[in-house]
Amino acid sequence: MKSLRKAKIALVCDWLTTAGGAEKVILGLHRLFPTAPIYTSLYDRQRVRGFENAKIITSKLQRIPILRRRHQLLLNLMPSAFEQFDLGQYDLVISSSHSCAKGVLLKPQTLHVCYCHSPMRYAWDNHQKYIREYSTNSLVKKSAQFLIHKIRLWDRISADRVDHFIANSNYIGQRIEKFYRRKSVVIHPFINPDDFTQLKQENFFLAVGRLTSYKKFDLIIDTFNQNGLNLKIAGTGNMEGYLRGKAHKNIEFLGFVDDEHLRNLYATTKALIFPQKEDFGIIPLEAMASGCPVIAFAKGGALETVIDGKTGLLFAEQNIESLNQAIERFTDCIFERDAIVSHARTFGQERFNRQFLDYLHKIWQRHQLTLEHDKY
């Protein structure tokens, strides 16, 4: 029976073109398994750091440089791109997937473990609204209407290729069961708490992320237009022009900020505003690692990271009134910043590594026993 230490391992992820939460997870897995190659559809080494020493194998889509930063345009080609990877030499494949990475084709003897950030959002979550609100050209929107049904069918079929699902939150675990009819275990993602510090608080609120429709930056701007409080927004995205156009002078757009600048913002802001329904949400944890309270929408992954009244405040509805009430309530609260930091530290990478490896060893041993049994 082969031990896990002697197993030939490959990692698979959807794409490496933006530095987000999923990319931080695959970087963590790369550090756990530094000799395992990473298979992905697209890789932009200028925008995604930390993989300089990794062996990265990209799909044929990499040959289209103009589309590396517009992977949404390639959605219909993604299933085929992942199915064309030759992974026949590996004993264990670990996919980090919120789109098509879990759809790789493997031999029956290969164990496939998927760390699932979400079932494909644009296939299952009110896809018509997603297509309508996504600010891209009309040709893409019309094409998406025809293609989304085909993508949904493929997504459901490809989920059956996975031997074991790991969900990044209880919320995602419920979605995996609903859409894929599969059970999962929950292992929360991680942050590196030692990367963050506390500084003297300044008079501004903070919002961070990609400026896209589901992140609800329009709600943040409408709310701060009304209350007149100082707000800084860190991030870029396809809604940036629209959002800048409607924002009042109390709202400052910082554009792209590097890691050092972002840590400084976390350390000096009064609170982070987080109004979206997120699969998990790394940004609130990073803010809390700096002692920063989080004002978050009370749905999705935020319920698993933000403790109402202790590490931040939760608001019930995604509207101006509900968010403003939470901000008003925030001004009357006193938060112990050290307690917020202590809570964030429970989501460190050592905890993730331990839980991930413990689970992997358990299912690997079970898989090896099954292979031994099948010989007879």
Confidence check: pLDDT of 72 > 80? no
CA atoms of 275 and 145, how far apart (whole Å) = 28
What is the domain partition of the chain in residue ranges?
A: 4-190+348-374, 193-345
Q: What is the pLDDT of residues 20-70, one digit of tens each?
A: 889 999 999 999 999 999 999 999 988 899 999 999 999 999 987 665 566
Dihedral of the alpha carbons of 14, 17, 20, 25, in degrees to the nearest 10? 50
Cα 367 to Cα 21, 97, 112, 164, 178: the distances in Å are: 30, 22, 10, 11, 26
How confident is the model at residue 64, as a pLDDT?
76
The yes/no answer on whether domain 4-190+348-374 falls in CATH 3.30.70 is: no
Domains 4-190+348-374 and 193-345 share a fold: yes
Per cent of the chain over pLDDT 70 is 91
pLDDT range class, residue 130, cuts 50, 70, 90: low
Q: What is the pLDDT of residues 264-286, one digit of tens each?
A: 999 999 999 999 999 999 999 99
How confident is the model at residue 138, as a pLDDT?
57
Cα 83 to Cα 13, 40, 108: the distances in Å are: 13, 11, 15
pLDDT range class, residue 135, cuts 50, 70, 90: very low
Say what the pTM is.
0.91
142-145: Cβ within 8 A, 24+ apart: 143/76, 144/75
Dihedral of the alpha carbons of 10, 15, 17, 20, in degrees to the nearest 10? -90
**Averaged confidence pLDDT in the chain:** 92
CA atoms of 267 and 108, how far apart (whole Å) = 49
How confident is the model at residue 126, as a pLDDT?
58
The helix or strand, by DSSP H or E, that contains position 207, with its residue range, turns out to be strand 205-208
Side-by-side strand order, sheet with 56-58: 56-58, 38-40, 9-13, 92-97, 111-116, 164-167, 184-186
| Nearest CA among 290, 346, 288, 296 for reference residue 316 | 296
| Nearest CA among 132, 261, 137, 142 for reference residue 208 | 261
CA atoms of 75 and 99, how far apart (whole Å) = 9
pLDDT range class, residue 241, cuts 50, 70, 90: very high
How confident is the model at residue 352, as a pLDDT?
98
Helix residue ranges per DSSP H, 184-295: 217-227, 240-246, 259-268, 282-289
How confident is the model at residue 142, as a pLDDT?
61
User: What amino acid occupies position 361?
Assistant: H
Lowest mean pLDDT of 132-141, 206-215, 247-256, name the range: 132-141
Helix residue ranges per DSSP H, 105-239: 121-124, 127-133, 138-159, 170-180, 217-227
| β-sheet bridge partners, residue 314 | 296
Q: How many CA atoms lie within 13 A of 287 on its CB side?
A: 29
Confidence check: pLDDT of 230 > 70? yes
Per cent of the chain over pLDDT 90 is 81
| β-sheet bridge partners, residue 88 | none
pLDDT range class, residue 148, cuts 50, 70, 90: confident
> Strand, coil or helix: what is 348?
strand
How confident is the model at residue 19, as a pLDDT?
82
- DSSP class of residue 305 equals T
CA atoms of 343 and 70, how far apart (whole Å) = 36
How confident is the model at residue 77, as a pLDDT?
87
Q: What is the pLDDT of residues 183-223, one digit of tens each?
A: 999 999 999 999 999 999 999 999 999 898 889 999 999 99
- DSSP class of residue 44 equals -
Dihedral of the alpha carbons of 14, 15, 19, 24, in degrees to the nearest 10? 40
Task: Tell which wins on pLDDT, 297 or 146.
Answer: 297
Task: Tell me, letter by letter, the H, E, C secondary structure of 315-340.
Answer: ECCCCHHHHHHHHHHHHCCCCCHHHH
Confidence check: pLDDT of 321 > 70? yes
Confidence check: pLDDT of 177 > 90? yes
Task: Name the fold adopted by 193-345.
Answer: Rossmann fold (3.40.50)
How confident is the model at residue 146, as a pLDDT?
67
How confident is the model at residue 6, as a pLDDT?
93
Q: How many CA atoms lie within 13 A of 54 on its CB side?
A: 27
